[in-house]
Amino acid sequence: MKSTSRRKSGSHRLDLNEVRMFVQVVRARSFAEAARRLAVPPNTLSRRIRQLETALDRRLMQRSTRKLTLTAAGQDFFDRCAAAVDGVLEAGKALVEGSNTPSGLVRVAGPLDFLDIFHIEWVAEFLAQYPAVRLEFVLNDARADLIDEAIDVAFRGGSSRESPAAYRQITAQYLKLVASPAYLEARGTPQTLEDLGLHDCLIASSRHGRITWKLQGPQGNEEVSVSGRFGVNSARVLVKSCIAGLGIALLPDMLIEPAVRLGQVVRVLPAYRREGADFNIILPSPDQVPTAVGAFIDFAIAKLQTVMAAPATRTAGSHARSHAKS
């Protein structure tokens, strides 16, 4: 049986770093000069080129003490791979140099009413501030699969303690009681929690009949049985219904804040509230957050927390007093 001294092609995997070294050696016309440019010892460089030749099962160059000559296979390999190596290096350089400049597409997932909370004017401001970034919103009350749908960042309600994927908590949410000035003028302002049972309350459900609202107040946890003539399983529609004067609603502070500031609704029984879901930022992975994604997260947090930092304090009582003076 005849033995062979040469290793079969493919017994070593091609190492792209060794290809880069080979290109540098050819251009420097010297192992010593190439080693200096690459900042590696000459003997290491020589060994890596021999490994490349073994992987290709071809002699790429003839070496002597004074001169380095490419073989026909070496010249052909250089001609084919030099431009590709340059392209890879340029691409890497561009990514590194551009890594500090936010750019590219950022896909944002959130509930259907997210743009009621995150104003569209803020979107315009962010895009003007970062002209190389594109935003794409994927809004659905069903939770998006961040990996399958290629989502870069998601905004979700829920307990940050129970969600290992939570990257940052924007704010702890509370639900507050609100009603429109027109409704209160027509029906009167509740003075006690029990008074709610005599009012039309907007129910966050399509169920009929009375339900129980559990609230935290001056006496701790309290409950009240309420009912109403209109219910819907959409917080966004409940806000509109409350503004339209259909009844008293128990809604997240973040959702009702714009309407409170505009005087479209006022707070009712402000000493009472209910703990709601935290509002969190979720990432597919907390490692190596792209610059554009990080820029959008910082921008969104600043905007949303500014809104919540100085909540409007207008209540049904203050509204009634101002109305009496007019």
pLDDT, tens only, 69-82? 889 998 998 898 88
CA nearest neighbour of 311 among 265, 256, 273: 256
Sole residue written with tokens 């109403």: 228
pLDDT, mean of residues 275-288? 77
SS3 135: strand
Q: What are the pLDDT digits (tens) for 192-251?
A: 999 999 999 998 775 666 789 999 999 899 999 998 888 887 778 889 999 999 999 998
pLDDT at 307: 67
pLDDT of residue 179: 95
323 vs 198 pLDDT, higher one: 198
From the centroid of its chain, how far is CA 127? 16
Residues 290 and 298 sit within 8 Å (Cβ to Cβ): no
- The domain limits of the chain are 16-98, 104-171+278-309, 174-276
**How confident is the model at residue 86, as a pLDDT?**
80
Q: How high does pLDDT run on average in the chain?
A: 81
Give the pLDDT confidence of 17-29 residue by residue, as tens digits. 888 889 888 888 8
Check pLDDT > 50 for residue 129. Answer: yes
* Tokens encoding 222: 């309290």
For the beta carbon of residue 247, count every other beta carbon within 10 angstroms.
23
pLDDT at 322 over 60: no
Least confident of 35-44, 207-216, 292-301: 207-216
Secondary structure E strands in 180-278: 201-202, 211-217, 220-226, 248-252, 266-267, 274-275
CA distance 143 to 255: 19
The CATH fold of domain 16-98: Arc Repressor Mutant, subunit A (1.10.10)
Domains 16-98 and 174-276 share a fold: no
Pick the CATH number of 174-276 from 3.40.190.290, 3.40.47.10, 3.30.360.10, 3.30.450.40: 3.40.190.290
Q: Which of 262, 243, 238 is nearest to 175 (CA)?
A: 238
- The residue to which tokens 């709610």 are assigned: 196
DSSP state of 289: -
Q: Does the pTM exceed 0.85?
A: no
Q: In angstroms, rounded to a whole number, what is the distance separating the alpha carbons of residues 175 and 240? A: 16
Judge: domain 104-171+278-309, CATH 3.40.630.30: no
Q: Is 147 helix (H, G, I), strand (E, B) or coil?
A: coil
Q: Cα–Cα distances in Å, from 41 out to 16, 17, 47? A: 19, 15, 10
The more confident residue out of 179 and 34 is 179
Q: Report the percent of the chain where pLDDT is more than 70.
A: 80
